[in-house]
């Protein structure tokens, strides 16, 4: 099964003048019982945060939260004592586990563009923890670059307490990538920019494709393109 969800079908949300967001799944005041999660992937938000603004300190529990910064920089502070700047090309993972509080603010004069993905962890009751890596993934071309994973076959990426992997790829026009998977897994592609054909289905900027019961994902760029690919187990995690 391949489901195309167009850019226009994303949920649009704004908070004052400082946050513009597009939700791929039910989140905050947006609820659709048919669009709650995809395997353990519970949240995928495409966020733009205005200069000198951001999220004040707030709590989380029982979630793996991955932040991928595409442009600008974000300041993170939490009650574990972590203080860091997440810059373009950086990936952050926060395990909220039994409870963590943090703030995310843009303290610069430039807008920040980021993706934030939340996964239900493999098990509940984990100790809160934090990790951040500079992967410079935006400069790569014609290959899938792992950003975060709970699959032990991949190294030098951010660890994730989920049997899932987040990839980023940039393709030149006419280039192809083949991603091998299993029928017991699901794949989500979110097109950051450009146009692709995925297993015969066309997708453009900010479209998403959700694939199930596949063994190979064939991705062909009909124009220069970049995208996120999220590989998850088919079984949904619920607490």
At 152 the pLDDT is 75
Residue 239 lies in a domain: no
CB neighbour list of residue 144: distance below 8 Å, 6 or more residues apart: 167, 168, 169, 177, 179, 229
* Mean pLDDT score of the chain: 94
Residues 222-236 pLDDT 10s: 999 999 999 999 976
Does 153 have pLDDT greater than 80? no
Does 97 have pLDDT greater than 80? yes
Q: Please tell me the total number of residues recorded for the chain in this structure.
A: 239
CATH classification of the domain holding 149: 2.60.120.10
Q: What is the DSSP letter of 7?
A: G
Residue 137 lies in a domain: yes
Check residues 239 and 138 and name the one with the higher pLDDT. Answer: 138
* Domain membership of residue 201 as a residue range: 2-233
Q: Provide DSSP, 75-108.
A: EEEETTS-EEEEETTEEEEEE-TT-EEEEEEE-S
Q: Look at the chain and report how many structural domains it folds into.
A: 1
Going across the sheet that includes 11-15, the strands are 11-15, 19-23, 41-49, 112-119, 64-71, 90-95, 129-134
At 214 the pLDDT is 96
Q: Tell me what the mean pLDDT of segment 61-69 comes to.
A: 97
Look up residue 120 and give its two tokens: 């239900």
pTM (2 decimals)?
Answer: 0.95
Residue 238 lies in a domain: no
Residue 9 lies in a domain: yes
Residue 74 lies in a domain: yes
Q: Tell me what the mean pLDDT of segment 60-69 comes to.
A: 97
Residue 197 contacts residue 2 (beta carbons within 8 Å): no
Cα Rg of the chain, angstroms: 17
Q: Tell me what the mean pLDDT of segment 39-48 comes to.
A: 97
Residue 88 contacts residue 73 (beta carbons within 8 Å): yes
Residue 136 contacts residue 77 (beta carbons within 8 Å): no
Q: Tell me what the mean pLDDT of segment 212-221 comes to.
A: 97
The phi, psi pair for 88, rounded to 5°, reads -50, 125
Q: What is the DSSP letter of 21?
A: E
Does 238 have pLDDT greater than 80? no
Residue 58 lies in a domain: yes
Q: Tell me what the mean pLDDT of segment 71-97 comes to.
A: 95
Does 182 have pLDDT greater than 60? yes
3-state secondary structure of 28: coil
């Amino acid at each position: 099964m391949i489901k195309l969800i167009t850019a226009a079908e994303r949920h649009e949300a704004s908070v004052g003048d400082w946050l513009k967001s597009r939700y791929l799944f039910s989140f905050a005041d947006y609820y659709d019982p048919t669009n709650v999660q995809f395997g353990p992937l519970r949240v995928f938000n495409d966020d733009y945060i205005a200069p000198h603004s951001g999220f004040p300190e707030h709590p989380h529990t029982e979630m793996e939260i991955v932040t991928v910064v595409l442009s600008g920089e974000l300041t993170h502070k939490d009650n574990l004592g972590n203080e860091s700047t997440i810059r373009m090309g950086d990936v952050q993972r926060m395990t909220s586990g039994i409870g963590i509080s943090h703030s995310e603010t843009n303290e610069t004069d430039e807008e920040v563009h980021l993706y934030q993905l939340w996964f239900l962890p493999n098990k509940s009751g984990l100790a809160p923890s934090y990790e951040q890596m500079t992967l410079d993934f935006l400069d790569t071309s014609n290959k899938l670059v792992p950003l975060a994973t709970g699959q032990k076959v991949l190294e030098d990426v951010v660890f994730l307490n989920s049997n899932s992997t987040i990839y980023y790829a940039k393709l030149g026009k006419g280039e192809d990538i083949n991603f091998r998977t299993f029928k017991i897994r699901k794949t989500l592609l979110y097109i950051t920019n450009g146009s692709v054909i995925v297993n015969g289905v066309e997708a453009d900027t900010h479209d998403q494709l959700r694939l199930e019961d596949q063994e190979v994902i064939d991705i062909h760029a009909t124009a220069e393109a970049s995208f996120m690919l999220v590989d998850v187990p088919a079984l949904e995690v619920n607490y």
